[in-house]
A and B are shown apart, each in its own frame.
Chain A
Amino acid sequence: MEIVSDQQRKKIHPHKFTLWVAIGSIIMMFAGLTSAFIVKSNQVNWTPVAMPKVFWLSTAAILFSSLTLQMALRSFKQREMGTYRLLIGLTMILSLVFLALQWAGFRDLWDQGVRLKGAGAGQFLYVIFGLHALHVIGGIIALVVMFVKAFTGRIKIYSSVPVEVMATYWHFVDLLWVYLLVFFIIIGR
């Protein structure tokens, strides 16, 4: 066993690697959906949609949460647990703000009269942004677990792997959101 762990020390941690493969897999799902969107947008009866302005605010919220989580990771590595708890709490709040703003964006669209009937940009937006929100919720659940552990953690191992995995996933969800937003602005017209 020592032989193996010696050898593995030089390599990327298996959990991090697993996360990267999982990210590849999530990318394929959104690639499938956005390419379906491109195909459909070139066909007849396509109805464009005006992007609600509130999505800019949510973009700011999630970008800012990425920043706070990165800072949390740094303070974890420097073993400043007080700052770490504060920053991870802040990340959680920002992520919930993001979700609330997404909800407001959906309400805005709904009030514009974009319903589920049909097959235009609005319906794709509901599905794609909705799936993205589910991925964010998954991340928030992990954040909550991490937050609770930061206060009750009995195990005194300062391995930063879980926090790093969390941060990587969160940055990914963040970038995915930016991609989806830019995608809708450019192609969704």
Chain B
Amino acid sequence: MSEAMHTTSAVSAAHGEHHDEHHGHHKETFITKYIFSQDHKTIAKQFLITGIVWAFIGGLFSVLFRLQLGYPDTKFPILETLFGHWAAGGQITPEFYYALVTMHGTVLVFFVLTAGLSGTFANLLIPLQIGARDMASPFLNMLSYWFFFGASIVMLSSLFIQTGPAAGGWTIYPPLSALGEASIGSKAGMDMWLIGMALFIVSSLLGGLNYISTILNMRTKGMSMTRLPLPIWAMFFTAVLGVLSFPVLLSGAILLLFDRNLGTSFFLSDIVVNGQVLPNEGGSAILFQHLFWFLGHPEVYIILLPAMGMVSEILSVNSRKPIFGYMAMLGSMFAICILAFLVWAHHMFVTGLNPFLGSVFVLLTLLIAVPSAIKVFNWLTTLWRGNIRFTPAALFSIGFVSLFISGGLTGIFLGNSTIDIHLHDTMFVVAHFHIVMGVASFFGMFAGVYHWYPKMFGRYLNNTLGYIHFWVTMIGAYLIFWPMHYEGLAGMPRRYLDKRGWVSFSQFGDLDKMITVVTVIVFAVQLLFIFNFFYSIFKGRKVTTQNPWGANTLEWTTPIRPGHGNWAGEIPEVHRWPYDYAKDGRDFIPQTEPVGANESAH
């Protein structure tokens, strides 16, 4: 798949000349404007709306398997009506359960929080905040979306085939995922998973290449790297992580495709399925885990960094104060970016990893606490004694900081290889990564949507619905995931669909019921958000001022509904860093304003 990308990069470079001339003066048809658009803002909206559709699907899956976990005895006849033999007798079958958890993970990690999050905001914010008319290569950018769309189609159709989608967990470890005879979730659904992910990887590589070269090459005059708003730095590090780690996952996926379809044994050895000895010899299943987690761990930061960057910006704007420790923020993001590549084996402590090697990975893992703590400190000190405006975006940002702290602390438990012997593959892990990576990044994404919605659509989201959305989601997230820590400490394993057989876990029956009820409520509130989103596109309160939040960054110097090319006249020149809030008795000083004679530059 990747060769397609390289070809297109070479070909589009070969066609390079006429892409530089697009500034929106020419006539656009419906198709070039809304479908095969090369405008970064439209591509951002395409990513966002596709991401919302996927988030609905992935969220719905979690509601379904929570029904099973909370009410293992109860029959829901509607499930049989909807899903037929997958929910025979109104109860979710084991095969269906595994398919649901696998696709829930895949969809949310990759299709929502990678493509939906950085695809949306990197596309929207990079040209607008660095002062560029579009990406370095708008054509590659368009391809990036359409590869994502193709990946979505393949993944979505895998839900409807007779043997169902992939069902070996989102980490698709072989040998289970390599052998169709081992589980129906490893039949055609798994091939479609791999093909879908290969397309997805091409999409995110094309996007990442563009983000990096746009940030480094297309900044407006005066926009030095240290005058970049923090979301841009975050997107930059995210893109670097993606460009360096996704190809490694692709190599693992290619080897797995060979094992599945062409009889090689890269990951297979000494296997007996249903009493049949398989001929495969000499492979190593652990090898796949290394290849997978070499992507898999940076992937966590690919998800989290854009949220961190946007939260930094939104907190500064809404507490009317400069961001605390701009350089420390950069340094800590850089440190996270480096460390992200050096900790993958902490996912493999119990695979028979050499304990000495394990201790090295423990050290490197715990080191991540240092830049993370710096960032938390800086967010809190930015809020400290600020003149805070509690807009929905600000609330979601504060919620992000809260979740990042609580989820991050449990990471210290799991990063210790000895404690991990007890905690690995329990609900504790589920609680940890959902809070710190899943919900926290979702909060960053919501914050971004509420904050930049006026720029995207020229209208505001409804605030009241926004506050309801925030409070229910915030309280709900803690009610859902906090109790899972207790279950995990008691040893309750993840991925099990029915724990009634264990006396030690039956005490958690009511707790699981509570979690399920809250899950349904939180899901319903997300539907409220989706309603708010689509309703406000057409009927929301109109934006009447160019700079509704009183922010310094360049996107608020564009027209309220910017055309392709962003600025009607010349691109503004930048004279200062983006965080001059409450300076010299002024509420805010935009980046475009020259530094005065009596003023010291930051």
Contact = CB atoms under 8 A, between A and B. Distances in A.
A43 B216 contact: no
B181 interface: no
A24 interface: yes
B3 A134 contact: yes
Given A33-B251, A142-B14, A155-B17, A22 B9 contact: yes
A116 interface: yes
A119 B287 CA distance: 12
Nearest to B572: A3
Contacts of B220: 3-4
A72 to B, nearest CB: 14
A44 B265 CA distance: 13
A118 B10 contact: no
Contacts of A28: 243-245, 247-248
B10 A25 contact: no
Nearest to B294: A32
B516 to A, nearest CB: 40
Contact of B136 (A18, A25, A31): A18
A185 interface: no
Main secondary structure of the interface of B (DSSP, over half): helix
A161 B19 CA distance: 13
Interface stretch (B42-50, B57-65, B151-159, B278-286): B278-286
Given A21-B243, A127-B255, A119 B282 contact: yes
Nearest to B252: A32
A7 B221 contact: yes
The size class of the interface chain B forms with chain A is 35 or more
Looking at B2, B133, B205, B214, the one whose CB has the most chain A CB atoms below 10 A away is B2
Contacts of A12: 217
Contacts of A157: 17
Nearest to A11: B217
A48 interface: no
Given A127-B258, A138-B10, A32 B213 contact: no
Interface string B253-288: 011001000111110110000000001111110010
A143 to B, nearest CB: 9
A138 B7 contact: yes
A57 interface: no
Interface stretch (A62-70, A73-81, A162-170): A162-170
Nearest to A159: B17
A25 B13 contact: no
Looking at A7, A18, A123, A131, the one whose CB has the most chain B CB atoms below 10 A away is A18
A18 B251 contact: no
A123 B266 contact: yes
A45 B282 contact: yes
A141 interface: yes
B4 to A, nearest CB: 7
Looking at A3, A12, A159, the one whose CB has the most chain B CB atoms below 10 A away is A3
Interface in A1-30: 1-4, 7-8, 11-12, 14-19, 21-22, 24-26, 28-30
A145 interface: yes
Contacts of B250: 29
B5 to A, nearest CB: 7
30 contacts: A1-B571, A3-B570, A8-B218, A14-B218, A15-B136, A16-B13, A18-B213, A21-B213, A22-B5, A22-B6, A22-B205, A22-B209, A26-B2, A30-B251, A32-B248, A32-B291, A33-B251, A40-B266, A116-B263, A117-B263, A119-B265, A119-B268, A119-B282, A137-B7, A142-B7, A161-B13, A165-B13, A165-B14, A166-B10, A166-B14
